[in-house]
Structure 1
Amino acid sequence: MASRPQMLDDDFTSGIDPSVWNYEIQLDGYGNGHFDWTTSDPTNAYTDKNGLHIVPTLTNETTTITNDQILNGYTLNLTTTKTCTSQQISACGIRSNSTTGKMINPVRSARLTTKGKRGIAFGKMEIVAKLPRGDWLWPAIWMMPAHSVYGTWPASGEIDIVESRGNNYDFPQGGRDHFGSALHWGPYPGVDAYWRTMGQTTLKRSDFSKEFYTFGLEWTEDYIVTYVNNRIHQVMYIPFTKGGFWQRGEFIKYNATEESNPWRPVEEGGKTHHIKAAPFDQEFYLLLNVAVGGTNGYFKDSTLKPWVDGSGREMRDFWNAVNQWHPTWGSADERGMTVKSVKMWQEGKC
């Protein structure tokens, strides 16, 4: 195997390079019901000698929007300010209304991507980072397809290198001493089979917010591996099998037919090619973000959690408990994810 061409080597000493990184600026929680408004504000994403910091902040502390306005009578329109990066109207504007329960996102954070600028289709990636500390923080280092070749999510796949929670060690689903990796895939959202392709790891007597760790991905035409610090400390190993992801998912049990298989074998040159890696045979780009809360079950309902998924007042209940969770966040460096470097290599040809 030939050496891998390096696609990216960024230690952020020159700031946030616009030729590499994009900001995603939205209000709608990206399908997960996050409570944060993602911005390009330098209080939410900035660099210093330690690297890139992605830091959540309270909206009423970092904008002129007051607490009363967060709850009622304020219109936030990212379309008129020409900052919204979504094509969906619901992601770009909201008016707070105490009667209907709609409110301005009470926290702000950042989400950076290399979409359209850097990506790999097979290769390797290493991100040196320190994860955040604080209740209901949801840091993620992950990848999405540059082009939805096989259809909308999850048909074209998703690669989660790191997902964690900023909560303490005693959090039932795992706190900042724990992280998971997963692949998301399926012919349509209702049968996302990520649970068949995931791995987890937990530290003993420490956590991922106390020092920097190297979070790695190795991706070939035969497998995907994630690891921490080195290949020996493997978190997830997913081999690509001959039957492909359609067979792996056993989608026939969900009344799915071969015609609904987005990764069907293709005819080329009079021969049938079975793409065993599909949908993980296309270019993917990198995302870095620290989300806050959510309503998709990543934080399961419990007596510890101040909101209940599906209640219709999740964000409001979360915000009403600000005096419980905000003191756990600590300083900007503690509550933020700090990324010291990002390296990306494209797989070489044999």
Structure 2
Amino acid sequence: MHSFIFYIFLVWLSCLSDLTVMCYKIPEVKLEVLQNGFRVSIPHEPGIENVAFNINRNRPFKAFEPGEYSNRIRTQINNLWFLETQRRLQDDDTIYVWTDVQFNKSRYRDISTPIAVSHALRGQASQSGASTIPPMIAVSQVPQSVNEIAPTTTTEEPPAIDQRNDKCEPSLTTIHNRKVCRGQLIFEENFDGDQLDASRWRYEVRLPLDIADAEFVLYDTNAELSNGLLKIEPRLWGNDSPNADIQKGDLNLGARCTAYQNPEVECQRHSFGRVVLPPVLSARINTKHAFSFKYGRVEVRAKLPQGDWLFPLLLLEPLVNYYGQQPYASGQMRIAFLRSNLNLQTGSGVEVGGRVLHGGAVLCAESNNRDKFMVNTSRGAHFGESFHIYSLTWNDRLLRLDVDGQNYGTVEGGYAQIVNDFNNAWANGNYMAPFDQEFFITLGVAAGGHGDFPDEYSSKPWVNSSPKAALYFWRDRHNWKSTWISPALQVDYVRAYAI
């Protein structure tokens, strides 16, 4: 103890002994929201040799660990050390930053106070009329020349997420290009508490895009947490009020809307003629802002919905539409899929309802080809009668599907050679393209739609190609609503592991 105090005294004395050499303290990081991304920065001081920024969105750092965005900057510009990304932020985002500064051959680290995006500077460069920093320069794209000093990115490979395990085995799994240890638990959600953890999950508040398989729902914030379970229960428009009429009224989600691609379609609807309001209200949540990964195993313990024309959403969806904006050009993986009807058969009498579980990949919108890259298994009872553990393992060769620890099928890669529609784009990826990018987790419940119930199914009250499909579905509610004996999706936990 005495030696430690003496050491502190020597450090203090050394700081005072030479006025030209000062002890350095990292200043608070400044966040600026730009038109196409954001910038974090600290001011330059003589003696700074390089600066590393580590940034997380909506997820605090537990230690000095790599961030969602991590780069070391070797050169300052106009008396600022800064890092820019092209990730757009939302007003409810919170940015966490820790900074590593090399100052006069010594290293300093500091975790900054969390910064709410709503409190950050917006458009400072464009509003001032003149910018002291070149506007929106991506660090990896800054030109190098004799007359131009620019920041460069480090070529050092970031460390694994958890270095504490001395027996860390190499893993195929990556998180934002960072390596992890094989078998490591990389995500876990047990839904404790009474509300969603906003640092992990975010509601989708929107109408489905008007594409070939749009569901007949409005996704809103009607999920519940109770007794360690997530519960998403769909309900009818107007709570089945006798005066409810989906052919009348307007819907405008306003600032709450979380449109993905087309706000005019996803955020508002004016009912007229064949255009109706969504017949069903439900919920859909995802980890897009907080957690995504490439290759791994996902487990979900859940009780699936029971009720005609419902289906659960236990999905892996692409973080970026790397292969284009067309429906499913970048793929979708289904951890578990169920047509939740109590009794549902094809025209030839084959059972396809709630006793048949599916899992695998979706690569096209057409309902007749929807199951082409999925496998299935049957049980004597509806899968929604009890909890089961649904698992999808995703590697660089195949998808493996399990239920309660039993494998029921695999889906091989090589989709570029099988599906002609996107062959040229997927050919630029690896054998698993489009499943060679990062994906995030989505949970929810949907109803009806143009893609998941082929027209050959008996007793189906709408035709997929009909512009009035949602209206016909609504008009038949007196037949199918009585079957919604347990329409909620209940999720006990979600876990993801490195492989």
TM-score past 0.5 threshold: yes
1-structure distance, mates of 2:458, 2:432: 42
Q: Which residue of 1 aligns with 2:107?
A: none
Quote how far apart the aligned CAs of 1:199 are: 0.4
Equivalent residue runs for 1:107-146 within 5 Å:
107-146=280-319
2:307 partner SS: coil
1-structure distance, mates of 2:267, 2:342: 33
Q: For each residue in 1:38-92, what CA deviation from the matched residue of structure 2 results, as whole angstroms up to 9, or x when unmatched?
A: 101xxx3111115101110112128xx87355322x111112xx11111420121
Q: Which residue of 1 aligns with 2:498?
A: 346
Quote how far apart the aligned CAs of 1:161 are: 1.7
CA-atom RMSD, angstroms? 2.6
Q: Does 1:210 align with 2:385?
A: yes
Q: Does 1:101 align with 2:101?
A: no
2-structure distance, mates of 1:294, 1:105: 11
Q: Which residue of 1 aligns with 2:469?
A: 314
1:135 partner SS: coil
Q: Which residue of 2 aligns with 1:167?
A: 341
Equivalent residue runs for 1:228-247 within 5 Å:
228-230=403-405, 233-240=406-413, 244-247=414-417
Equivalent residue runs for 1:163-312 within 5 Å:
163-172=337-346, 174-185=352-363, 195-204=371-380, 206-230=381-405, 233-240=406-413, 244-249=414-419, 251=420, 261-264=424-427, 275-296=430-451, 298-312=453-467
Amino acid at match of 1:261: N
* 5+ long unaligned stretches in structure 1: 266-273
Q: Structure 1 residues 134 and 297 mapped into 2: Cα distance closer, same or farther (>3 Å)?
A: closer
Quote how far apart the aligned CAs of 1:292 are: 0.9
Quote how far apart the aligned CAs of 1:132 are: 0.6
Q: For each residue in 1:77-127, what CA deviation from the matched residue of structure 2 results, as whole angstroms up to 9, or x when unmatched?
A: 112xx1111142012111223xx1322212100111111211220111100
* Selected match of 2:187 from 8, 29, 32: 8
1:200 partner SS: strand
Amino acid at match of 2:374: M
Q: Percent identity?
A: 28
Q: Which residue of 2 aligns with 1:269?
A: none
Amino acid at match of 1:28: P
Q: Does 1:20 align with 2:200?
A: yes
Higher RCO (CA < 8 A, seq sep 6+): 1
2-structure distance, mates of 1:197, 1:107: 28
Q: For each residue in 1:305-326, what CA deviation from the matched residue of structure 2 results, as whole angstroms up to 9, or x when unmatched?
A: 1222223222222211221111
Equivalent residue runs for 1:328-343 within 5 Å:
328-330=483-485, 334-343=486-495
2-structure distance, mates of 1:169, 1:303: 10
Amino acid at match of 1:159: M
Q: Which residue of 2 aligns with 1:33?
A: 214
Q: Does 1:154 align with 2:317?
A: no
TM-score (normalizing by structure 2): 0.58
1:312 partner SS: coil
* Greater radius of gyration (CA): 2
Q: For this pair of structures, how many residues does the alignment match?
A: 311
Quote how far apart the aligned CAs of 1:170 are: 4.4
Q: Which residue of 2 aligns with 1:268?
A: none
Q: Which residue of 2 aligns with 1:270?
A: none
Amino acid at match of 1:200: N
* Residues 113 and 288 in structure 1, CA contact (< 8 A), matched pair in contact too: yes
Amino acid at match of 2:379: L
2-structure distance, mates of 1:144, 1:293: 20
Quote how far apart the aligned CAs of 1:264 are: 3.4
1:133 partner SS: coil
Q: Structure 1 residues 182 and 144 mapped into 2: Cα distance closer, same or farther (>3 Å)?
A: same
Amino acid at match of 1:345: Y
Amino acid at match of 1:280: F
* Residues 427 and 433 in structure 2, CA contact (< 8 A), matched pair in contact too: no
Q: Which residue of 1 aligns with 2:76?
A: none
Amino acid at match of 1:22: R
Quote how far apart the aligned CAs of 1:18 are: 0.8
* Residues 29 and 294 in structure 1, CA contact (< 8 A), matched pair in contact too: no
1-structure distance, mates of 2:233, 2:191: 16
1:102 partner SS: coil
Q: Structure 1 residues 55 and 30 mapped into 2: Cα distance closer, same or farther (>3 Å)?
A: farther
1:70 partner SS: coil
Range with bigger deviation, 127-136 or 29-38 = 29-38
Amino acid at match of 1:4: G
* Residues 131 and 176 in structure 1, CA contact (< 8 A), matched pair in contact too: no
Q: Structure 1 residues 53 and 237 mapped into 2: Cα distance closer, same or farther (>3 Å)?
A: same
Q: Structure 1 residues 107 and 197 mapped into 2: Cα distance closer, same or farther (>3 Å)?
A: closer
* Residues 53 and 338 in structure 1, CA contact (< 8 A), matched pair in contact too: yes
Quote how far apart the aligned CAs of 1:26 are: 1.5
Amino acid at match of 1:234: N
TM-score (normalizing by structure 1): 0.80
Amino acid at match of 2:200: V
